[in-house]
């Protein structure tokens, strides 16, 4: 058994990390069915693709009804309390399922077990959970399952020491059109509200060669789009190269000729001018930037440890808007951070009024154990947080709608991803600048880039008619 440790998780020594290749271990379970549920961000979704790939390499097959599964895995998120509550809610249901199906194996992985209190709670109170793994040992999931089965007892294997980078995962990607590609793991920013640097460890860039090779391979397999992933992609390269940044990587990935390249998430602190140039110049680097601002108050930004002022942010934002044609910019905003007064909140509203974002993901501050903000004075009451969140959402949605309305009667290029939730005869896909478009069309167009004329614009999507 290995339990996580928050003090260990905070350490950032200068030690170089190891890069090793995925090595398969034979699973003692044969021909089993698995069910997996993923919570949280794209990074977690991508980790799930790794878990699925490893399980299927070992003869497992996926089922989408949990009652049919022999093994159930929850790949969890720790970013806010509600993600945490959802996982424990589902675990309650699984306990009942296990009572009628004794051989069922339940595994919990991802960010939540990296929290010391969660791992201890599982050890002490959730004896029916069979195996637990963290974000640093996904490649060993078969070993963890084997040990649990062979010893017939709960197996908790969670490491806080961030260590290494595993290459060559046998991914199972869900669609053959768009693919996630990790470029940098972990985060060194330690924003005071955020648990990610503890749960995902230190910043570790993958080598440019492995990334370019992976994109090349995806292109050869017919993928049209890649999204380069990291908690802070703009820090790419800093830990392994003297002079090779995300701007250089984008240029090189662009050289593979894949049709669309995206990247998330960008921290404003590391967003250099070269990046703006590359996005503006390279036709296959998409004009879409997700640039979390978090707050419009300098006092709160400082307390958050964000390392920029509202003025720095607006300057960068305006540069991006003016230099990249047709760019769309979205953001993340937290309301109710400790010490946020009505005045601070109004400054956030005023920043949104100034920036007129294409979209924003908005959150009520959620204290995370062991993070500095969780013990700051002047925590804001929940009711106040949610009042502010509602007010903010109204303003944010107004601008999303306004921005989308600019596309009325215009023709946009849509990469068709599948059938729309709006009806069986409808398809859905995304524009170059990441707007969701629904339109009537034949299923054979899935995976193609088509011209669509926009006929209706809402806050979260647009409708259109197919032109070709
Ligand atoms: N409470 C609320 N929102 C948070 N985020 C990160 N940590 C917290 C927290 N403790 C938000 C930030 C980040 C996004 C992924 O989640 O806005 O950019
Ligand atoms: Fe969390 Fe800040 Fe790192 Fe983003 S940059 S993952 S908000 S610590």
Adjacent-strand bridge partners of 1: none
Residue 80 backbone dihedrals phi, psi, to 5 degrees? -140, 160
How many angstroms separate the first and last alpha carbons of the chain? 59
**Is the C-beta atom of 194 inside 6 A of ligand 1?**
yes
pLDDT tens digit sequence for 328-368: 999 999 999 999 999 999 999 999 999 999 999 999 999 99
Residue 26: pLDDT over 70: yes
Residue 179 CA to ligand 2 center (angstroms) comes to: 23
**Is the C-beta atom of 373 inside 6 A of ligand 1?**
no
* In the chain, % of residues over pLDDT 90: 91
Give CA torsion, residues 47, 51, 54, 59, to 10 deg.
-150
The owner of tokens 């996580």 is 4
Which of 189, 266, 370 most suits a substitution to test ligand 2, by most atoms within 8 Å of the C-beta?
189
Spell out the CATH class of 6-157.
alpha beta
**Is the C-beta atom of 84 inside 6 A of ligand 1?**
no
Q: Which residues line ligand 2 (CB under 6 A)?
A: 187, 189-191, 194, 196-197, 231-232, 267
Sign of CA dihedral 123, 128, 131, 136: negative
CA distance 449 to 259: 9
pLDDT tens digit sequence for 120-160: 999 999 999 999 999 999 999 999 999 999 999 999 999 88
Residue ranges of domains in the chain:
6-157, 411-466
Cβ–Cβ < 8 Å for 226, 258: yes
Question: Domain 411-466 classified CATH 3.40.50.300?
Answer: no
CA distance 105 to 142: 13
CA distance 450 to 468: 7
pLDDT tens digit sequence for 373-397: 999 999 999 999 999 999 999 999 9
Antiparallel, parallel or unpaired: β 462-466 and 449-457? antiparallel
Q: What stretch of H or E contains 455? A: strand 449-457
Cβ–Cβ < 8 Å for 130, 148: yes
Residue 2 backbone dihedrals phi, psi, to 5 degrees? -135, 120
**Is the C-beta atom of 337 inside 6 A of ligand 1?**
no
Cβ–Cβ < 8 Å for 338, 297: no
CA distance 78 to 264: 19
**Is the C-beta atom of 200 inside 6 A of ligand 1?**
no
Angle among Cα 218, 74, 116 to the nearest 5 degrees reads 110
* Strand ranges inside 249-327, DSSP E: 260-264, 288-290
Q: How many CA atoms lie within 13 A of 21 on its CB side?
A: 4
The predicted pLDDT at position 162 comes to 67
pLDDT tens digit sequence for 190-220: 999 999 999 999 999 999 999 999 999 999 9
Residue 346 CA to ligand 2 center (angstroms) comes to: 24
- The structure tokens listed for 114 are 């990296």
**How many helical (H) and strand (E) elements, i.e. helices and strands, does the chain have?**
13, 21
Reference 292, options 317, 266, 273; nearest CA is 266
Q: What stretch of H or E contains 377? A: none
Task: Considering only CA atoms, give the Rg of the chain.
Answer: 23
């Amino acid at each position: 058994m290995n339990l996580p440790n928050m003090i260990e998780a905070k350490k950032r020594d200068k030690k170089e990390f190891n890069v090793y290749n995925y090595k398969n271990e034979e699973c003692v379970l044969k021909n089993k069915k698995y069910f997996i549920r993923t919570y949280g961000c794209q990074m977690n979704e991508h980790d799930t693709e790794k878990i699925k790939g490893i399980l299927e390499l070992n003869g497992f097959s996926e089922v989408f009804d949990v009652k049919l599964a022999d093994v159930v895995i929850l790949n969890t998120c720790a970013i806010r309390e509600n993600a945490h509550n959802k996982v424990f809610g589902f675990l309650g249901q699984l306990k009942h399922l296990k009572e009628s199906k004794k051989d069922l194996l339940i595994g919990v992985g991802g960010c939540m077990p990296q929290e010391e209190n969660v791992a201890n709670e599982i050890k002490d109170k959730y004896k029916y959970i069979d195996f637990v793994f963290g974000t640093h040992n996904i490649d060993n999931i078969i070993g963890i399952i084997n040990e649990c089965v062979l010893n017939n007892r709960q197996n908790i294997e969670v490491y806080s020491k961030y260590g290494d980078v595993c290459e060559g995962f046998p991914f199972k990607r869900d669609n053959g059109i768009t693919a996630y590609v990790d470029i940098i793991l972990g985060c060194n920013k330690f924003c005071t509200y955020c648990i990610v640097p503890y749960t995902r460890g230190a910043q570790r860039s993958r080598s440019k060669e492995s990334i370019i090779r992976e994109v090349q391979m995806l292109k050869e397999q017919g993928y049209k789009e890649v999204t380069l992933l990291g908690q802070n992609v703009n820090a790419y390269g800093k830990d392994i190269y003297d002079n090779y940044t995300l701007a250089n990587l984008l240029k090189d990935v662009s050289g593979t000729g894949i049709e669309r390249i995206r990247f998330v998430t960008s921290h404003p602190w590391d967003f250099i001018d070269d990046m703006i140039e590359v996005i503006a110049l390279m036709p296959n680097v998409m004009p879409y930037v997700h640039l979390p601002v978090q707050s419009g108050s300098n006092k709160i930004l400082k307390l958050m440890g964000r390392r920029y002022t509202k003025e720095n942010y607006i300057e960068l934002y305006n540069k991006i808007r003016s230099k990249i044609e047709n760019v769309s910019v979205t953001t993340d905003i937290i309301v109710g951070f400790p010490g946020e007064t009505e005045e601070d909140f109004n400054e956030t509203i005023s920043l949104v009024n100034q920036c007129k974002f294409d979209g924003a993901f908005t959150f009520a501050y959620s204290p995370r154990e062991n993070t500095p903000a969780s013990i700051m004075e002047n925590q804001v009451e929940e009711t106040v947080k949610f009042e502010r969140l509602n007010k903010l959402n109204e303003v944010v949605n107004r601008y999303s709608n306004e921005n989308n309305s600019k596309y009325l009667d215009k023709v946009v290029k849509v990469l068709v991803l599948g059938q729309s939730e709006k009806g069986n005869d409808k398809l859905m896909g995304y524009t170059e600048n990441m707007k969701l478009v629904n339109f009537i069309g034949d299923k054979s167009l899935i995976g193609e880039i088509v011209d669509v004329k926009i006929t209706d614009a809402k806050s979260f999507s647009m409708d259109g008619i197919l032109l070709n």
